[in-house]
């Protein structure tokens, strides 16, 4: 995936996830799972990979989340940053980037 396409697709995913997160009155496990599901759907669509193949990477993505995303300062953490991290992490785990 070239850099321009990656940037364009990441922006698209981030915009959708931010709107989705804002629509929830509170964030719990169910809401987070819905958001993660939408990211998996985007990764599958953008890479031509089946959603089940993308979902196989979820354990690794979530295992690395606290150390990688969690290392950001509190000011840097946001829905935008989390959505971009998750999208890019799945792509990385699939070997696309």
d(CA 15, CA 9): 10
What digits encode the pLDDT tens for the residues 25-60? 999 999 999 999 999 999 999 999 999 999 999 999
Q: Look at the pTM and tell me if it is higher than 0.85.
A: yes
Q: List Cβ<8 Å contacts ≥24 apart for 2-8.
A: 6/88, 6/91, 6/97
Grade residue 1 by pLDDT with cuts at 50, 70 and 90.
Answer: confident
Whether 67 shows a pLDDT value over 90: the answer reads yes
């Amino acid at each position: 995936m070239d850099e321009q396409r990656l940037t364009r697709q990441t922006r698209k995913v981030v915009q959708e996830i931010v709107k989705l997160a804002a629509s929830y009155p509170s964030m719990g496990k169910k809401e987070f799972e819905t958001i993660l599901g939408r990211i998996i759907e985007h990764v599958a669509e953008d890479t031509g990979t089946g959603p089940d193949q993308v979902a196989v990477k979820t354990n690794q993505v979530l295992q690395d989340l606290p150390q990688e995303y969690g290392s950001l300062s509190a000011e840097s953490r946001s829905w935008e940053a989390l959505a971009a991290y998750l999208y890019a992490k799945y792509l990385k785990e699939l070997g696309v980037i």
